Amino acid sequence: MLDFALKMSRRKQMQLLLNVAKCGNAKTTPSQRNNASVAGAIPLDALDTGVSTQEKNIPFEQMPGPKGFPLLGTIPYHFPGGKFHGLQHNEVTDMCQKEYGTIYKETILPGFTLVHLFDPNDIETVFRADGKYPMREAFHTLAHFNKKFNNNTQGLLTSKKCFDQRLYQLICLNNQLYQMISCQDYISYEIRWCGIAVVCFNKRLGALQNHAPDSEAARFIDAVDIVMDVSQKEFKQLPWYRLFNTPTFKRLAKAQYIIRQLAVKYSQKALEDVQKRLDAGEDVTGEQGDLIPYLMSKTELTEDQVLTVISELILAGVDTTGHHLAFTLYLLALNKDKQDILYKEINENIPHNDQPTENEVSSLSYLKAVLKESHRVLPVAPGNIRKTVKDLVLSGYTIPAGVSVAIHTNWVGKQETYFKDSHKFKPERWLRINGSSTNSHPFAYLPFGFGPRSCIGKRFAEQESTLALIKILKNFHIDYVGEDLKIECSITNTPIIIRKQ
From 2, 75, 126, 157, residue interacting with ligand HEM (rule: CB under 6 A):
157
Contacts of 119 (CB under 8 A, 6+ apart): 102, 103, 394, 395, 412
- Calculate ∠ Cα 110-116-118, nearest 5°: 175
From 256, 308, 454, 463, residue interacting with ligand HEM (rule: CB under 6 A):
454
Return the number of the residue (78 or 376) whose C-beta is nearest ligand HEM.
376
Q: Is 299 left (phi over 0), alpha (psi -120 to 50) or beta?
A: beta
Binding mask 283-312 toward ligand HEM (x if CB under 6 A, else -) reads: -----------------------------x
Give whole-number Cα distances, 229 to 222, 225, 251, in Å: 10, 6, 10
Q: What is the 3-state secondary structure (H, E, C) of 88-106?
A: CHHHHHHHHHHHHCCEEEE
Considering only residues 309 through 328, tell me which ones interact with ligand HEM, judged by CB under 6 A.
Answer: 312-313, 316-317, 320-321, 324
Q: How far is the CB of 160 from ligand HEM (least distance, A)?
A: 10
DSSP string, 213-259: TTSHHHHHHHHHHHHHHHHHHTTTS--GGGTS--HHHHHHHHHHHHH
Q: How far is the CB of 165 from ligand HEM (least distance, A)?
A: 15
Binding mask 164-203 toward ligand HEM (x if CB under 6 A, else -) reads: -------x------------------------x-------
Return the number of the residue (217 or 316) whose C-beta is nearest ligand HEM.
316
CA 249 – CA 258 distance, rounded (Å) = 14
DSSP code of 499?
A: B
> Quick one: 282 exposed, middle or buried, by C-beta within 10 A (0-12, 13-18, 19+)?
exposed
CA 9 – CA 160 distance, rounded (Å) = 48
From 63, 455, 468, 497, residue interacting with ligand HEM (rule: CB under 6 A):
455
Return the number of the residue (398 or 492) whose C-beta is nearest ligand HEM.
492
Return the number of the residue (75 or 143) whose C-beta is nearest ligand HEM.
143
Considering only residues 327 through 366, tell me which ones interact with ligand HEM, judged by CB under 6 A.
Answer: none
Return the number of the residue (24 or 66) whose C-beta is nearest ligand HEM.
24
Q: How far is the CB of 484 from ligand HEM (least distance, A)?
A: 23
Applying CB under 6 A, does 384 fall inside the site for ligand HEM?
yes
From 370, 377, 381, 405, residue interacting with ligand HEM (rule: CB under 6 A):
381
Q: How far is the CB of 177 from ligand HEM (least distance, A)?
A: 10
Please tell me the count of residues contacting ligand HEM according to CB under 6 A.
29
Rg, C-alpha atoms of the chain: 22
CA 497 – CA 237 distance, rounded (Å) = 28
Applying CB under 6 A, does 453 fall inside the site for ligand HEM?
yes
Query: By CB under 6 A, which span of 183-191, 279-287, 455-463, 478-486 interacts with ligand HEM?
Result: 455-463
Nearest Cα to 19, choosing from 205, 197, 208? 208
Cα pseudo-dihedral 159, 86, 445, 479, rounded to 10 = 120
Return the number of the residue (35 or 398) whose C-beta is nearest ligand HEM.
35
Return the number of the residue (306 or 380) whose C-beta is nearest ligand HEM.
380
From 25, 52, 305, 335, residue interacting with ligand HEM (rule: CB under 6 A):
25
Return the number of the residue (288 or 357) whose C-beta is nearest ligand HEM.
288
Applying CB under 6 A, does 380 fall inside the site for ligand HEM?
yes
Q: Helices in 1-139 by DSSP H: which ranges? A: 89-100, 120-128
From 186, 343, 450, 476, residue interacting with ligand HEM (rule: CB under 6 A):
450
Q: How far is the CB of 321 from ligand HEM (least distance, A)?
A: 5
Q: How far is the CB of 101 from ligand HEM (least distance, A)?
A: 24
Reported as type and span, the H/E element at residue 149 is: helix 140-149
- The per-residue b/e assignment along 233-251, b for 16 or more CB within 10 angstroms, e otherwise, is ebbbebeebeeeebebbee
Applying CB under 6 A, does 154 fall inside the site for ligand HEM?
no
Applying CB under 6 A, does 26 fall inside the site for ligand HEM?
yes
| Residue type (1 letter), 311 | S
DSSP code of 6?
A: E
- 148 φ, ψ (degrees, to nearest 5): -80, -45
Considering only residues 245 through 264, tell me which ones interact with ligand HEM, judged by CB under 6 A.
Answer: none
Contacts of 2 (CB under 8 A, 6+ apart): 19, 20, 21, 22, 322, 323, 326, 494, 495, 497
Return the number of the residue (171 or 252) whose C-beta is nearest ligand HEM.
171
Query: By CB under 6 A, which span of 40-48, 104-112, 231-239, 442-450 interacts with ligand HEM?
Result: 442-450
The residues that touch ligand HEM, with contacts defined as CB under 6 A, are 24-26, 136, 156-157, 171, 196, 312-313, 316-317, 320-321, 324, 380-381, 384, 447-450, 453-457, 460-461
